[in-house]
C-alpha cells in the first residue's frame, strides 16, 4: 500500500438528493479518524481501466466527529470516458455499505480561519456546499454571526438542507436560492428567493459588516460571488475559495467576463451578475532546439538573481520568478504555456515533468513523491534558476 493511505470501511451510504449521496467512512485499523480542519478534503484511490486514479472529496461532516469522516458526492456526468465521472460513478454505483476504500489523510489550504472573530459569509453553489457545511458545524460554538447562502437548481438536487437548517439560531441564518424551483418547492416553502444571488439580494439579506467570506461551487458561481463581495467592500484578503481550473485565481477570471444571455436575479431586480463562461486558449509557443538550449544556458548563468529565472526548455520560453505566481505551474500558465495538470494540490502527479537543472522546494508535500529528476510543478517553487522540461 502506498505510504499515506489507510483502509476505511463504508459504514453508511445515504442518498441526500437525486444526484448527491453521502458516504460515512470508518477506519478499519481501529485507530482514531484523522484530525481534519473544516473545509479540507480526503483523497480516495479509485480503480479504473489503467489501475487506479486519485480523486478528492471534501469532508462534509462536523470536523470534530471522532467516529467517521463523511464525504458527500455529486454524480458527475463524464463523457466519452472522461475522468470527471469516474470517481463519482464508482462511488454511487459500485460502493455499498461494508466495502473498503483506500484513503489518504486530509489535505488542502481552504479551511476555516478559527483565529478570527469576524462574522462569516458562507456562499455555496450546488455540491460546493460540502466543505462549508463542515465549517458551519464548527462555527456553532464560536459565538460568531454566520450567514449561510446556498444556490442550487431546485429542491430535487438540494443536499443537506435539513442539516443546515438544524444549525439555525440567533447568530446563524441559512438562506436558500433556487434557480428554477418546482411547484412543489414553492408549496413547501423550501427556498427564500428564486433566480440568482445578486448584489441587491446580498444587500437586502446580509447586514453590512467586516466579514470573512468562503466560496465554493462551480467556477462561474464563484467568479460571480467574488466580484459581488469586492463590490460590497469585502477585502480580498478575507475572501477564501477552493479553485481547480486553468485560471489560477478568481481575480483573473472576473477581469474577462464573457457576454451571455441575461438571467433572473434572486432579488427580482435587474440582473447584475450573470452566468459566466471562460475559455482558455493559450498561445502556442515554439522554438527550435538551439534556441531552447540558448535560453536554458542563459537562465542557469543568472544564479545571482534574487529569486531566479525559470526556463521552459521544450517551448523555449522563460519567466522571472518574482513571487507573483504561487507555483511553477502558475508561472508556466502566466507565460502562456499549457502544462498538463488535474488537482493543483500535489495529489495526482499529472503535472509531473523533468527537472533539467536547478533545485525546487515543495510548499505542500506531494502525496506520492516523484522520482529523482522529476518535479510536481503544481506545489513547487524554484530555489534559484531552474530549467524544466516543458
What integer best gives the mean pLDDT of the chain?
Answer: 85
Specify the CATH architecture of the domain 5-107. Answer: Beta Barrel (2.40)
Q: What is the pLDDT of residues 300-335, one digit of tens each?
A: 444 333 446 899 999 989 999 998 888 999 999 889
Residue 273 has pLDDT above 90, yes or no: no
Residue 250 confidence class, pLDDT cut points 50, 70, 90: confident
Residue 378 has pLDDT above 60, yes or no: yes
Q: How far apart are CA 129 and CA 164, in angstroms?
A: 10
Question: pTM (2 decimals)?
Answer: 0.79
Please give the class, per CATH, of domain 120-254.
alpha beta
**What integer is the mean pLDDT of 279-305?**
35
Q: How far apart are CA 11 and CA 26, in angstroms?
A: 6
pLDDT score for 310: 95
Q: What is the pLDDT of residues 13-47, one digit of tens each?
A: 999 999 999 999 999 999 999 999 999 999 999 99
Assign a CATH topology to domain 289-388.
Ubiquitin-like (UB roll) (3.10.20)
Residue 106 has pLDDT above 80, yes or no: yes
Q: What is the pLDDT of residues 60-90, one digit of tens each?
A: 999 999 999 999 999 987 544 444 589 999 9
Task: With beta carbons less than 8 A apart as the criterion, state whether 36 and 63 touch.
Answer: yes
For the chain, which residues make up each domain, given as ranges? 5-107, 120-254, 289-388
Residue 95 has pLDDT above 90, yes or no: yes
Residue 259 confidence class, pLDDT cut points 50, 70, 90: very low
pLDDT score for 102: 97
Amino acid at each position: 500500500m502506498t505510504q499515506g493511505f489507510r483502509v476505511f470501511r463504508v459504514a453508511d451510504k445515504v442518498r441526500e438528493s437525486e444526484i448527491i449521496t453521502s458516504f460515512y467512512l470508518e477506519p478499519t485499523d481501529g485507530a482514531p479518524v484523522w484530525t481534519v480542519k473544516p473545509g479540507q478534503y480526503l483523497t480516495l484511490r479509485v480503480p479504473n481501466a489503467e489501475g487506479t486514479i486519485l480523486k478528492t472529496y471534501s469532508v462534509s461532516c462536523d470536523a470534530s466527529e471522532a467516529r467517521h469522516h463523511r464525504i458527500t458526492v455529486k454524480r458527475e456526468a463524464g463523457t466519452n470516458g472522461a475522468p470527471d465521472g469516474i470517481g463519482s460513478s464508482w462511488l454511487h454505483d459500485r460502493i455499498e455499505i461494508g466495502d473498503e476504500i483506500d484513503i489518504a489523510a486530509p489535505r488542502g489550504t481552504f479551511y476555516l480561519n478559527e483565529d478570527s472573530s469576524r462574522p462569516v459569509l458562507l456562499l455555496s453553489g450546488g455540491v460546493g456546499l460540502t466543505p462549508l457545511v463542515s465549517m458551519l458545524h464548527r462555527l456553532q460554538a464560536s459565538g460568531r454571526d454566520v450567514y449561510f447562502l446556498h444556490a442550487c437548481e431546485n429542491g430535487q438536487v438540494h443536499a443537506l438542507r435539513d442539516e443546515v437548517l438544524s444549525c439555525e439560531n440567533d447568530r446563524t441564518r441559512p438562506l436558500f436560492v433556487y434557480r428554477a424551483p418546482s411547484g412543489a418547492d414553492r408549496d413547501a416553502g423550501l427556498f427564500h428567493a428564486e433566480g440568482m444571488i445578486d448584489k441587491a439580494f446580498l444587500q437586502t439579506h446580509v447586514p453590512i459588516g467586516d466579514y470573512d467570506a468562503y466560496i465554493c461551487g462551480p467556477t462561474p458561481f464563484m467568479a460571480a460571488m467574488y466580484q459581488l463581495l469586492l463590490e460590497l467592500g469585502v477585502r480580498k484578503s478575507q475572501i477564501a475559495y477552493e479553485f481547480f481550473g486553468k485560471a489560477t485565481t478568481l481575480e483573473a477570471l472576473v477581469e474577462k467576463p464573457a457576454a451571455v444571455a441575461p438571467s433572473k436575479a434572486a432579488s427580482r431586480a435587474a440582473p447584475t451578475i450573470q452566468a459566466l463562461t471562460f475559455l482558455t486558449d493559450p498561445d502556442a509557443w515554439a522554438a527550435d532546439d538551439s534556441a531552447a538550449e540558448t535560453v536554458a544556458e542563459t537562465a542557469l548563468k543568472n544564479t545571482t538573481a534574487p529569486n531566479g529565472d525559470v526556463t521552459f526548455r521544450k517551448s523555449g520560453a522563460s519567466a522571472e520568478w518574482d513571487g507573483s505566481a504561487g507555483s511553477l505551474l502558475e508561472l508556466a500558465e502566466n507565460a502562456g504555456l499549457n502544462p498538463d495538470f488535474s488537482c493543483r494540490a500535489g495529489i495526482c502527479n499529472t503535472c509531473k515533468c523533468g527537472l533539467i537543472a536547478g533545485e525546487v522546494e515543495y510548499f505542500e508535500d506531494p502525496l506520492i513523491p516523484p522520482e529523482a529528476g522529476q518535479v510536481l510543478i503544481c506545489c513547487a517553487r524554484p530555489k534559484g534558476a531552474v530549467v524544466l522540461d516543458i
